[in-house]
Amino acid sequence: MEMIQVNSRNQKPKLRHLLVLTAAALLAVGLLSVTDPNKNAAACCVTVAVYCFLAALFLLYSFREQIRYNPYSYNTIFYFGFALFSLFVMIIYILLTIQISQVPAGQVISNILRYLIGSPKNFILFSFPFLLVFSVGLCVSNLSLIRHEGLRPVNLLGIALSFFIVAGAVFLYTFDYAVSGSQREVMIHDLVANLIASVYLYFECMLLGVIVALAFTARYEPETKVDFLIILGCGLRSDGTPTPLLRGRIERALAFDEKQREQTGRELTFIASGGQGADEAVAESTAIKRYLIGRGVPESRIIEENRSTNTFENMKFSNEIIQSVDPNATVAFSTTNYHVFRSGLFARRVKMRAVGMGARTKWYFWPNAAVREFIGLLVKHRLKQALILGTMTVSYLILTWLSYRFY
């Protein structure tokens, strides 16, 4: 899969152009609303629709450029997920523009605001069939995982996420289905509903972005010009031999090595990365090295990195070895398909521009592992998420309050 070449850009895309576009759209809508809100209602709708279209184009362009700069990034999943939401809001305002003649004069601005405020809930309802199918598939794979691997808390992550996805959407629909009371009571109800919807929207967009990012990076095939190929360890059998999961990573690396030698005649150096756990007979690096030698790889082409205890240290210590040999070397790493994206994040954290390749795993194992990666990604970027999520929720709460001021 080489449609987009990764690591081919030296600067990441900037969001400042989107901020300028947003400010211009807000100014235009504000001026139209203040001058003659009823007469300019259609112009307001067109302005919002055009803004959403341009925002979606910018986000999709940024998604592509982010992959070219660094596909293993929080920005990658953010750009794609919210581009879809922008396109959805654009469609809403195109339809509203068409129907604007049927809106009573006194309700024009109120309805324009309410369409915008209701966009998270409408997007959730619109995408619910996909979310339902996704959740059912996740549960089925999780049950198969439990049947094959046993019942452990970590093997329940897919079922837990499925429950929250479906329960959240159902709660929003039932909570917002009918409400009565004074205007103040209805406004408080709407504030709560819109707060919950904006939080749900954020995590849904991030989930959609993660699905696309994991799929892209797992299937990506690096160019055949690699100098060092890191094989990430992941646990051993009791006799010190690789588990099926680790064998898959080694075989994936061997297949790439064979392809590169056939196409370019270029020999790479394997870095067997992984220390010795308390329950392991030997270091993971040693087990990887033995396996490679058993498959005909000369010992001179293998370097052991036997200090690491996790993926971050795999990348950190491997990078130290590579820098001591050739600071300008091209680097790739081999891991399991669901783990490529997060491994790439760690590679960038240690200033290493490495491209990953993913080994296949059993069909029932991949979805639950991908959920674990999704949760890990969110946990690693708490501050950035708090800023974006906080901005979203405050914006929707202010818009809800404004809609009642215009009502």
Distances (CA, A) of 276 to 27, 132, 237, 306, 319: 60, 42, 12, 7, 19
pTM: 0.83
pLDDT of residue 2: 46
pLDDT of residue 40: 77
pLDDT of residue 1: 44
pLDDT of residue 195: 84
Helix (H, G, I), strand (E, B) or coil at 241: coil
User: What would the two tokens of residue 169 be?
Assistant: 């959407």
What are the structural domains, with CATH classification, of the chain?
16-220+373-406 (no CATH), 228-329 (3.30.1330)
pLDDT of residue 402: 72
pLDDT of residue 108: 56
Q: Mean pLDDT of successive 10-residue segments in the chain (407 residues)?
A: 68 83 84 73 86 94 90 87 92 83 57 79 89 89 84 83 90 76 77 85 88 88 94 90 94 96 95 90 94 95 95 96 94 93 92 93 79 76 79 80 67
Distances (CA, A) of 215 to 210, 251, 277, 299, 341: 8, 20, 30, 34, 9
pLDDT of residue 111: 66
pLDDT of residue 332: 96
Cβ neighbour number for residue 206 with a 10 Å cutoff = 23
User: What would the two tokens of residue 170 be?
Assistant: 């159902």
What does the alpha-carbon distance between residue 100 and residue 88 come to, in Å, rounded to a whole number? 18
What does the alpha-carbon distance between residue 223 and residue 234 come to, in Å, rounded to a whole number? 25
Selection from 251, 239, 325, 354 nearest residue 286 by Cα: 239
pLDDT of residue 104: 55
pLDDT of residue 54: 95
Positive or negative torsion for Cα 40, 45, 50, 52: positive
